[in-house]
């Protein structure tokens, strides 16, 4: 029998992409309580079936991206900044490589402008013409318009010229965030891109016996096999450990793990790796929302894929770039530390009180650990846990130093005790644990 939560998820999936959905509307339509509807929408959001959009609400979305590794387009920029296109509509689908803030003379600006870039500038007509002539689009801030000459040039070059009522700093921050988010999305591997499909998978179906398992395991070379109900739902996983000591004539239900861990296609490979490492799993079934088997994912496949991920294509001027650039190794490392790094704070790293933002601090600590582990040849790192205890605010003008003490490093995990010093005084302490991904 399908549970009510699965029925609600099926209802959400049946909605057209872009359909607005609310807790109240869903509760009334499906005759459930508001709490049940809320939990279903939250689960749907976790699976990528819905998303919350500013000034719009919660809408049905497609969890499968249209193109892998797609870049932001100028049309995306118009949407992000709530802009208005003055000309060059034919170039709205062109990709954006970087943006340039035009707070300089034209003669200096031309060295920074390149094709498929975006010049953010005020009502400076000659700068706008310079950008269009160099193959770059233009974003005019402050709500200013432009001349017919510039619009004609934009139309002829098929390069958008956009106006926004926001100031330069605000639009730069919004675009910077979008570029960073897009870079992260490109780097995320999901189960959908990796799992072995059902037609290539060996599995058992009830009623099967221990003898059936041993015969299929020997023929397929796989020691872990999913066990399905007569309707195709995953009900267990049989392995060498679970069938050990069982008679051949016994049913497979006596020699399998009941209620096994399963994953969905929209989950990230990094999340699945964490699950498999934590529970020492060699195989996890991949299922749909009804629990039907779609395929399997093995630990060997996950680790191989995580290790073979190429270095990400860096997007200039993103927040992670700025954090990493601010981190420098210390030449003189105190004996109590395995490594030490200095951080030059910048206004963008602070909160409204002028103190270092705790999220920024966490990012810097992770970067420091990654830098140190890379010196040991450990390039494939996933952070499991980070606990930061702040002792006093870190002010903008402070010189921040990060000292790493190794508590434990083995084949699979590393744990660090971290001191964060500001102007030679301890400002915070942290403990970080991470996975070190290695092929088995």
- DSSP string covering 174-239, please? HHHHHHHHHHHHHH--BGGGTPEEGGG---EESS-BHHHHHHHHHHH--S-EEEE-TTSBEEEEE-
Distances (CA, A) of 385 to 46, 219, 366, 369: 21, 41, 10, 13
Regarding whether 238 and 129 lie in a shared domain, the answer is: no
In the prediction, which pLDDT does 327 show?
A: 82
Regarding whether 155 and 110 lie in a shared domain, the answer is: yes
Q: Specify the range with the lowest mean pLDDT, choosing from 200-214, 251-265, 312-326, 405-419.
A: 312-326
In a domain, 68, yes or no: no
Q: Where does the pLDDT of residue 341 fall: very low under 50, low under 70, confident under 90, or very high at 90 and above? A: very high
- Report the alpha-carbon distance of residue 353 to residue 334 in Å, rounded: 32
Going by C-alpha positions, the residue among 368, 362, 374, 358 that lies closest to residue 405 is: 368
Q: Check whether 66 has a pLDDT greater than 50.
A: no
In a domain, 67, yes or no: no
In the prediction, which pLDDT does 110 show?
A: 77
Report CA dihedral (88, 92, 94, 98) to the nearest 10 degrees. Answer: 90
Q: Give Dmax over CA atoms of the chain in angstroms.
A: 86
Q: Check whether 130 has a pLDDT greater than 60.
A: yes
Regarding whether 336 and 425 lie in a shared domain, the answer is: yes
Predicted TM-score (pTM) of the model is 0.42
- Report the alpha-carbon distance of residue 404 to residue 421 in Å, rounded: 11
Distances (CA, A) of 129 to 8, 180, 298: 54, 28, 56
In the prediction, which pLDDT does 315 show?
A: 42
Domain count, the chain: 4
Q: Residue 143 is part of a domain; what is its CATH number?
A: 3.40.1390.20
Distances (CA, A) of 151 to 88, 127, 142, 162: 7, 13, 18, 10
Q: Residue 420 is part of a domain; what is its CATH number?
A: 3.10.129.10
Regarding whether 298 and 374 lie in a shared domain, the answer is: no
Show contacts of 101-107: CB within 8 Å, 24+ apart. Answer: 101/168, 101/172, 102/127, 102/131, 103/168, 106/130
- Report the alpha-carbon distance of residue 138 to residue 164 in Å, rounded: 11
In a domain, 169, yes or no: yes
In the prediction, which pLDDT does 404 show?
A: 94
Going by C-alpha positions, the residue among 228, 262, 260, 224 that lies closest to residue 241 is: 224
- Report the alpha-carbon distance of residue 264 to residue 47 in Å, rounded: 8
Phi, psi of 80 (to 5 degrees): -65, -40
Regarding whether 209 and 111 lie in a shared domain, the answer is: no
Domain membership of residue 29 as a residue range: 4-60
Q: Of 257, 277, 307, which closes a domain?
A: 307
Q: Check whether 9 has a pLDDT greater than 50.
A: yes
284: tokens are: 């996890």
Q: Of 187, 216, 234, which closes a domain?
A: 187
Q: Check whether 414 has a pLDDT greater than 70.
A: yes
Q: Specify the range with the lowest mean pLDDT, choosing from 287-296, 309-318, 331-340, 430-439.
A: 309-318
In a domain, 50, yes or no: yes
Q: Residue 48 is part of a domain; what is its CATH number?
A: 1.10.10.10
In a domain, 313, yes or no: no
- Report the alpha-carbon distance of residue 41 to residue 384 in Å, rounded: 27
Average pLDDT over residues 319-325: 65
Average pLDDT over residues 248-269: 87
In the prediction, which pLDDT does 352 show?
A: 66
What is the per-residue pLDDT across 366-375, written as a single tens digit (0 to 9) for each? 888 988 988 8
In the prediction, which pLDDT does 435 show?
A: 85
Regarding whether 94 and 36 lie in a shared domain, the answer is: no
Cα radius of gyration (the chain): 27
Regarding whether 323 and 291 lie in a shared domain, the answer is: no
In the prediction, which pLDDT does 69 show?
A: 43
In a domain, 391, yes or no: yes
Cβ-contact 41, 23 below 8 angstroms: yes
164: tokens are: 């926004």
Q: Where does the pLDDT of residue 54 fall: very low under 50, low under 70, confident under 90, or very high at 90 and above? A: low
Average per-residue pLDDT in the chain? 82
In the prediction, which pLDDT does 146 show?
A: 92
To the nearest 10 degrees (0 to 180), the angle between helices 125-133 and 148-157 is 10
Q: Residue 280 is part of a domain; what is its CATH number?
A: 3.10.580.10
**CA dihedral over 220, 226, 229, 234, signed as positive or negative:** negative
- Which runs of consecutive H residues, i.e. helices, occur in 265-357? 269-279, 299-307, 319-326
What are the b/e assignments for 203-224, b being 16+ CB within 10 Å?
Answer: bbbeebbbebbbebbeeeebeb
- Report the alpha-carbon distance of residue 368 to residue 222 in Å, rounded: 40
To the nearest 10 degrees (0 to 180), the angle between helices 34-46 and 4-14 is 60
Q: Of 161, 187, 213, which closes a domain?
A: 187
């Amino acid at each position: 029998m399908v549970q009510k939560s699965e029925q609600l998820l099926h209802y959400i999936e049946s909605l057209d992409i872009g359909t607005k959905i609310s807790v109240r509307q869903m509760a009334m339509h499906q005759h459930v309580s508001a709490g049940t509807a809320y939990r279903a929408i939250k689960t749907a959001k976790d699976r990528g079936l819905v998303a919350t959009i500013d000034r719009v609400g919660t809408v049905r979305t497609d969890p499968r991206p249209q193109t892998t590794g797609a870049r932001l387009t100028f049309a995306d920029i118009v949407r992000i900044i709530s802009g208005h296109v003055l000309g060059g509509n034919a170039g709205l689908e062109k990709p954006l490589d970087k943006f340039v803030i035009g707070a300089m003379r034209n003669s200096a600006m031309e060295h920074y402008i390149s094709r498929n870039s975006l010049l953010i500038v005020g009502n400076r007509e000659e700068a706008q013409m310079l950008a269009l002539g160099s193959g770059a689009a233009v974003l005019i801030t402050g709500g200013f318009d432009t001349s017919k000459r510039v619009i004609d040039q934009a139309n002829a070059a098929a390069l958008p010229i956009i106006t926004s009522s926001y100031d330069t700093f605000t639009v730069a921050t919004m675009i910077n965030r979008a570029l960073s988010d897009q870079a992260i999305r490109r780097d995320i591997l999901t189960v959908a891109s990796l799992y072995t499909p059902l037609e290539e998978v060996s599995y058992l179906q009830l009623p099967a016996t221990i003898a059936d398992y041993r015969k299929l395991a020997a023929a397929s070379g796989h020691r872990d096999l999913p066990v399905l109900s007569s309707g195709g739902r995953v009900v267990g996983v049989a392995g060498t450990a679970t069938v050990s000591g069982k008679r051949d004539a016994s049913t497979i239900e006596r020699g399998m793990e009941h209620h096994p861990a399963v994953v969905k296609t929209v989950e990230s490979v990094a999340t699945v790796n964490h699950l498999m490492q934590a529970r020492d799993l060699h195989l996890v079934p991949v299922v749909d929302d009804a629990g039907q088997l779609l395929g399997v994912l093995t630990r060997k496949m996950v680790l191989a894929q995580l290790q073979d991920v190429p270095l990400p294509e860096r997007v200039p001027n993103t927040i992670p770039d700025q954090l990493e650039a601010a981190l420098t190794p210390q030449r003189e490392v105190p004996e109590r530390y395995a490594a030490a790094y200095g951080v030059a704070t910048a206004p963008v790293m602070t909160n409204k009180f002028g103190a270092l933002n705790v999220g920024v601090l966490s990012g810097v600590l992770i970067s420091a650990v990654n830098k140190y582990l890379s010196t040991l040849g450990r390039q494939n790192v996933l952070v499991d846990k980070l606990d930061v205890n702040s002792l006093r605010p870190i002010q903008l003008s402070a010189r921040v130093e990060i000292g790493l003490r190794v508590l434990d490093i083995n084949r699979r995990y590393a744990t660090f005790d971290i001191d964060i010093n500001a102007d030679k005084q301890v400002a915070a302490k942290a403990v970080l644990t991470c996975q070190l991904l290695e092929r088995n």
